[in-house]
Amino acid sequence: MINAAVIQNDTVTNIIYINESNMALFQAQGFELLDTGPLGLALGDRREEGVWYRETDGIQTALPILKA
């Protein structure tokens, strides 16, 4: 089981707890899902030109890849 970010229009719109074997079912229905772990994705994070950003207190910050 993993926490997966549901991506719509390059924005994280939901976080779901899902069995990895079910990810393909969601993706087949047109959902983009990403494991939240490597980037620590959260609701509202958005992607521009392949880089993920989070806005905190009005400041946009690029997300680094977190080391496990």
Question: What's the pLDDT tens digit per position in 20-60?
Answer: 889 888 889 888 999 998 889 999 999 999 999 999 899 99
Confidence (pTM)? 0.84
Backbone angles phi, psi at 37, to 5 degrees: -60, -55
Distance in angstroms (rounded) separating the CA atoms of residues 41 and 55 = 12
Residue whose token pair is 């997966």: 4
The predicted structure's pLDDT at residue 67: 46
> Which band of pLDDT confidence, cut at 50, 70 and 90, is reported for residue 68?
very low
Q: Give domain limits for the chain.
A: 2-62
Position 66 pLDDT exceeds 70: no
Q: In what order do the strands lie in the sheet with 11-18?
A: 32-35, 2-8, 11-18, 46-48, 51-56, 59-62
Q: In degrees to the nearest 10, what's the CA dihedral of 26, 32, 40, 62?
A: 180
Per-residue pLDDT at 11: 96
